[in-house]
Structure 1
Amino acid sequence: MPLDKTPLKFFMPEGDASVELPFIADGIKAGFPSPAADFDGTKISLDKVVVKNQEATFYARAKGNSMTGAGIDDGDILVIDRSLEPKNNKIAVCYIDGEFTVKRIKIEKDCIYLIPENTDYNPIKVTEENDLIIWGIVTYVLKSV
């Protein structure tokens, strides 16, 4: 099984480029159709929803398929907050041995593992020989359909 340490391409959010679009706040039923509701004038700017700390937030495009079980597919845009504390079971962008990867963090008493969410890939056991920086925590995944 391969290890996946695919490089990520990073982008910074643009501070003053906010665009507000119409938003159906009551939701749209995914079951049986119902009569369409009129827009109530509510607007939303996605950057204001997904960016909590602008100075510490970055975007990156996911490459590869090691995290498909977590809903992260090749080409998805990750929203990464560098101000959040790395915690067990969080999905993180990690810089290990000179390469970026996105994995779920598993913290054990004497060890840290970087866990893929695809059984085709092996977990990465972080040892003293590895150079690891937990670069940021993934807070949102933006997909195209």
Structure 2
Amino acid sequence: MNIIPILASAGITGFESPAAEYSQLGCNLDELLIEHPSATFIGKACGDSMQGVGIFDGDLLIVDRHVTPTHQDVIVANFNGEFVCKLLDIKRRLLLSANEKIQPVVINDFDTFSIEGVVIRSIRCHRPSPLLSNK
């Protein structure tokens, strides 16, 4: 895949085509988005709890199991048998949403909790993809 390194504004300005004269970067999307291929998986966000950090319903999440989670990282975790995407508050043992309407969740000693990986990137699709449908 060829990448055109341009800065584009959202407005219509009448400038000539940015592809008229461009240089190609020698990389593909895997190289650009994935740091540890053997430890990375892609998930799909569901819900509105992470909108405050730019993750919206239907976004793709690139999750790296190799990265050590740190305070305030966006993580994917198994919490009592449910996969969740939350901000990790290590100091207070909380799972935080990035939506003020949703209350923090305490990670108690009796809870089943495991971090599946750190969300290192998210991708928003602006048109539905038949490969990503829930059918």
- For Structure 1 versus Structure 2, the TM-score category normalised by the shorter chain is 0.7 to 0.9
- TM-fit CA distance, 1:43: 4.8
Cα separation, 2, equivalents of 1:86 and 1:42: 31
Is 1:95 aligned to residue 78 of structure 2?
yes
Instruction: Describe the SS at the equivalent of 2:72.
Output: coil
Counterpart residue type for residue 132 of structure 1: F
- What are the Cα deviations for residues 105-129 of structure 1, in whole angstroms up to 9, with x where unaligned? 0121xx4110000112111111112
| Residue 3 of structure 2, aligned match among 8, 23, 27 | 23
Q: Which runs of 4+ in 1 moved over 4 A?
A: none
Gaps of 5+ in 2: 127-135
Partner of residue 53, structure 1: 36
Gaps of 5+ in 1: 1-19
Counterpart residue type for residue 62 of structure 1: A
Aligned-residue CA RMSD in angstroms? 1.6
Partner of residue 137, structure 1: 118
Is 1:126 aligned to residue 110 of structure 2?
no
| Residue 64 of structure 1, aligned match among 37, 43, 47 | 47
Cα separation, 2, equivalents of 1:79 and 1:42: 22
Partner of residue 63, structure 2: 80
Counterpart residue type for residue 36 of structure 2: N
Q: Aligned pairs, how many? A: 122
- The answer to which structure has the higher strand fraction is 1
| Residue 117 of structure 1, aligned match among 98, 109, 112 | 98
Partner of residue 17, structure 1: none
> TM-score, with normalisation over the residues of structure 1?
0.77
Cα separation, 2, equivalents of 1:124 and 1:118: 13
